[in-house]
Amino acid sequence: MGKVNTKVDLLGIELDNPIIPASGTFGYGYEFAELYDINILGTFSFKGTTKDPRFGNPTPRIAECPAGMINAVGLQNPGVEKVVEEELPRLAKCFNKKVMANVGGFSVDEYVYTAKKLDACDQVGWLEINISCPNVHGGGVNFGSYPDSAAEIIAAVKKEVKKPVIAKLSPNVTDIVAIAKAVEAAGADGISLINTLLGMRINLNTRKPIIANKMGGFSGSAILPVAVRMVYQVANAVSIPVIGMGGVTTAEDVLELMMAGATAVEVGAANLIDPYASRDIVLDLPRVMEKYRINDINEIIGGCK
C-alpha cells in the first residue's frame, strides 16, 4: 500500500499527525520529554492556565473507577505570568512545534486577560478556551452550560487575539449542538469536545464521597461512545473544524472519532495511566490505517454518514 499520509491541517497549521495530548494530562510538556521525543506528536494542549496562580481543590481529588477515573484537581497552575516567563521557555528546549494553549477563567475579563498574554507568545499556535469553568459571578454555573454565556466568552476573546480560537465544550448539557452553534456564531475558529462528564464515587467504609469536592470530572475509556456521539452531532451541525476527545486509548479510537467528524483527536486520561500512551498511538496509527485501507487520513474525516 506504500506510505500512508497522517498529516492534517488544523486551522492553517500542518500537524504531522492528528494526535494531541489533552490539557491537564500532559503538564507543560517537558515532563514527558524526559521519557520520549515529544516532537513525534501532532502537538499538545498544555495545562489549563488562569490569570492568577491556583492551588486547586482540596484533596483527595482523584478517584479511580472501572474503565476510567474522576478528578477534581481544580485548575491547579502557576498563573499565566509564570507560564509565559518560566514554563514556555523550558518547553522551547524540547519541543520545536507550535503548542496549544488551554485557557481557563472565572469571568469574561479573566479569560480575555489570559488569552491575550498567551496569544502574544510565538510558541502558541492555537488558543483552546475551556468554557467549562464555573462562572463565579453568575451563580457558579459553567459558562459552557448555556449558549449565551458560552458565546459571550468566545466573542470577547476573539475580539482581542490574533491566533485561532478553539472553544472547548462541556458534555454536561442537554443540547450540545445549540452550544456549538452559539460559539461558531460568536466567531470560534474551531470546537474541541468532549470535556469530562460529571461523576461521583462513595467510600463504602466511611459512607462519604471519595473526592473532597464530592463530584469531579469522569474520564477514561468508558466515555468514548459519548464522545463519538457528540462529535458526530456537532461536526454535522457546524462548518468549523472539530477536535474530538474523550476515552481515546488506541489508534482505532482516533479513526473512529475522525470518521465521526474530528479533524484532530486529543488523548487525555490514557496519558495518566501510561505516560507513553500518546507516543504509542502515534506509532501505531500507520499500521491501523493500512489495516482499514486508509491511504490518507484526511479522506475519513466525517466519513460516517
Instruction: Catalogue the active-site residues.
Output: 133
Residue with C-alpha cell 466525517? 302
- Separation of alpha carbons 99 and 281, rounded Å: 19
- Joined together, the cell numbers standing for residue 247 give 476515552
Residue with C-alpha cell 445549540? 178
Q: Using alpha carbons, list the distances in angstroms from residue 208 to 74, 120, 201, 216, 218.
A: 20, 46, 9, 14, 18
| DSSP annotation string for 46-59 | PPPB-SS-B--SPS
| DSSP annotation string for 242-289 | EEEESS--SHHHHHHHHHHT-SEEEE-HHHHH-TTHHHHHHHHHHHHH
Strands (E), 169-215: 190-193, 197-199, 202-203, 208-209
- Joined together, the cell numbers standing for residue 224 give 468514548
